[in-house]
Amino acid sequence: MTWFVVGKTGKLKHAPPHRARRWVGHALACPYRVSVAGFIALICAVFAAHAASSSPDAVSYLLLDANRRTVIAIDWHDADAAVPIGSLVKPFTAIAYGEGHGLHFPVYQCTGAECWLKTGHGRIGIVQAIAHSCNSYFRQLAEDVPVVDVRETAGRFGLPGPPLDCDRETLFGVGSEWRVSPLEAARAYAELAARRAEAGVADVIEGMRLSARIGTGAAVGATLRGSGVLAKTGTAPCSHSPKAAGDGYAVVIYPGDSPRYVLLVEVHGKTGARAAETAAHLLRDLTGAR
């Protein structure tokens, strides 16, 4: 759905996705007096609106009560439809690995050869790997965790697991094989927040805390400076039509020490880091977080 607000000049304009909005209906039905120039602008707005209606909305979001798992606010075209969510699956693969290895996580070397950061993350442990969403770390980790274990762990968080015959990259969010619905993803993160003190989960939570400060979710910490907050980002193949290069995802859990909210955001055609920026502003507008 495309939303509009009436600007100060009386023209229709697209509503910012995270602002209070009201539906003003078809532009021609608006009882505004406009000049000839204004009328032409209005007609242009109508055509733009019709063109936009065939394009996916840029921002989708889902705000959950972290404890009740109920939806507080939602603007998502089909929040039940399963889509790839990129690196948002990494925490669940990490926990599966930890459970299979006495809750000990390895330290690996990221040279950048198989990571989105071409200069490499250097020697890196689980907390930094979550914070910076290091693909090289998770590529090595995924070699040593059975798919069936990942499915079992994901299931305990209410998340459908990856297909049994998937490739290794699927376990850390590459490709489109591991698909979950936005509602399932948000609720799995609420479950993660509820279990934040459990061994194995706590390492992931520390990674999300670091992500919001200096990692791929740093925009969250920059906006909510006075708050303890947790973040995780992901970038996935676009699930819309027409297609973009990819979709950015961000999960924010707030407050970090005593979670009340889980916000999941998807931004069509952007990266996870950009989605984190949008999520921070949305969280502030929706909950008053500072």
Binding site for Zn ion (CB under 5 A): 110, 115, 121, 134, 136, 238, 240, 244, 247, 268
Q: Minimum CB separation from Zn ion for residue 44, in Å?
A: 25
> Which residue, 187 or 268, is less far from Zn ion as judged by CB?
268
- Identify which of residues 3 and 32 has a Cβ nearer to Zn ion in the complex: 3
How far, in Å, are 51, 61, 152, 191, 198 from residue 282 at the CA level? 26, 9, 33, 22, 29
Nearest to Zn ion of 203, 247 (CB atom): 247
Task: Quote the least distance from Cβ 93 to Zn ion, whole Å.
Answer: 15
Closest CA to 186 of 20, 16, 18, 68: 68
Terminal C-alpha separation, the chain: 29
Task: Considering the complex, state which of residue 139 and residue 196 has its C-beta at the smaller distance from Zn ion.
Answer: 139
**CB nearer to Zn ion: pick between 136 and 227:** 136
Q: Is 270 helix (H, G, I), strand (E, B) or coil?
A: coil
H helices present in the chain, as ranges: 36-53, 90-100, 126-132, 135-142, 147-156, 182-194, 201-214, 218-223, 272-287
Min CB(255)–Zn ion separation in Å:
29
**Phi and psi dihedrals of 275, rounded to 5?**
-65, -35
* Minimum distance of Zn ion from residue 153's CB (angstroms): 23
User: Could you give the angle at the alpha carbon of 122 between the alpha carbons of 147 and 220, nearest 5°?
Assistant: 75
> Minimal distance in Å, beta carbon 242 to Zn ion?
9
Nearest residue (CB) to Zn ion, 136 versus 170: 136
* Minimum distance of Zn ion from residue 63's CB (angstroms): 20
Residue 267 or 280: the one with the smaller Cβ distance to Zn ion is 267
CA distances from 44 to 26, 47, 205 (A): 13, 5, 48
For residue 31, give every residue at least 6 positions away whose Cβ sits within 8 Å of its Cβ, in sequence order, or none. Answer: none
Q: How far is the CB of 205 from Zn ion (least distance, A)?
A: 20
* Rounded CA separation 237/176 (Å): 7
DSSP letters, 137-156, are HHHHHHTTS-HHHHHHHHHH
